[in-house]
Amino acid sequence: MSIPDGPPVISTARLRLRAPTLEDAPRIAALANDPGVARMTTRMPHPYGLSDAEAFLQACERRDVAKEHIFALDHDDEGLVGMLGFHPDDDGRVELGYWLGRPYWGQGLATEAASGALVWAGEGWRRRYLVAGHFADNPASGQVLCKTGFLYTGEVLPRHSLARGETAATRMMVWLA
């Protein structure tokens, strides 16, 4: 892991987590335009076009880096394979979220990305407490969160998914540094 003066860059065995740029828009749009990805998130629309990626990246550029960090996940051999972010929620907490393009599922990459990001969040960003939530019908994400040290709070909240067009039961989790 390296913590330069600018946006953080986090290196793991196969990935480099770095600040996204507008040039990432076509690749993000290509991977994100998948209902199996968007339906497991709260904020991604489906279909997901180039203009959605551009709007997302423009919003990234306006983010307050004291409160929010967003990383493109660059694979050593494949280029950008997904995204990961620490986002402020309505209650002033910081929430972890992530997605990978479907060709890259099942290789331990989400666990690797989240593990590296959490080391940085604790040691570099000095976060002591983070939250995450996964839809109850997304056990793979629950497994990623468990493997990276999150614990279930027992709270299950209805959260809206833009791609589903409705709320879905969301299992809430916490992580302590």
Ligand X SMILES: CC(C)(COP(=O)(O)OP(=O)(O)OC[C@H]1O[C@@H](n2cnc3c(N)ncnc32)[C@H](O)[C@@H]1OP(=O)(O)O)[C@@H](O)C(=O)NCCC(=O)NCCS
**Contact set with ligand X (CB under 6 A):** 37, 40-41, 98-100, 105-111, 134, 138-141, 143-144, 147
Nearer to ligand X, 33 or 138 (CB): 138
Pairing of strands 129-135, 166-176: antiparallel
Q: Please report how close the Cβ of residue 47 comes to ligand X at its closest, in angstroms.
A: 15
Distance (Å, whole) CA 44 – CA 146: 23
Q: Which is nearer to ligand X, 25 or 113 (by Cβ)? A: 113
Q: What is the enclosing helix (H) or strand (E) of 118?
A: helix 109-123
Distances (CA, A) of 14 to 11, 96, 109: 8, 20, 8
Instruction: Compute CA distances 32 → 86, 120, 168, whole Å.
Output: 18, 25, 20
Please say which residue, 57 or 170, places its beta carbon nearer to ligand X: 170
Smallest distance from the beta carbon of 134 to ligand X, in angstroms?
Answer: 4
Residue placing its CB nearer to ligand X in the complex, 120 or 150: 150
Residue 128 beta carbon to ligand X: minimum distance, rounded to whole angstroms: 22
Q: How far is the CB of 13 from ligand X (least distance, A)?
A: 12
